[in-house]
Structure 1
Amino acid sequence: MKPKFLSFTAVLSLVTLVVSPHLQAASESWKEDIDGFWDDTTYWAGGTIPGSVGGTTSTNVATFEVALTQNRDVYADPDRNIGGLTFSNTSGFGYIISGGPLKLSNGGIVQL
């Protein structure tokens, strides 16, 4: 019986199917009472940056719910689009989202 070998294209396709979902953005929560850059994975609880750069179809929601000790700046990267923003439990302080522009896409909402 001859061994069967997968073609390079078949292997590459299989790897793409397995890895791609892990590279996509997802809904995430900002995890620190600290200023930071939106596109830095270390500030997001799951290590994934919510939203996408360019396009207008992101359904991801970015949640900001850390009890703050002062106002915090979050610098959005250019053309970031997000499906929604949720702010809660900010202890009387707020987040200042600057940079950007940060775009709400796919019928996006801001929830306070």
Structure 2
Amino acid sequence: MKRILLLCLSVLLVVGFPTTGQAAPSIQAESYIMADAVTGKILLQSEADVSLPPASMTKLMTLYLVRRQIELKNLTWDQKIKPSAKVLKLANTSGIARVPVKAKTYTVREMYNAAF
């Protein structure tokens, strides 16, 4: 039941509530993008190509998903992870990451703790 409610709320947030010809909302952000999750159509955007560090909610969701996968036994704290070339490139881009990532193997626990 909770999943159905969350799905309905997500759809309303992406598709939108019925409007009466109102203008787009005023968004106070350095950059943003909102896309339809099904079609990929961009609904709103401003400076969408600007590289910025991930928002706190992104980090919290990532940490939640890691913990959930550990609880489901799909992942372990000692499992080894090697950052991809794309991750290494992003980590060395000024303004993107505050934690240095090197071309070495890390454990899930080390990566998890680095988020703090």
Q: Which structure would you say has the larger RCO, counting Cα contacts within 8 Å and 6 or more residues apart?
A: 1
- Please indicate, yes or no, whether the TM-score normalized by the shorter chain is above 0.5: no
TM-score, normalised to structure 2's length? Answer: 0.19
The structure that is strand-richer by fraction is 1
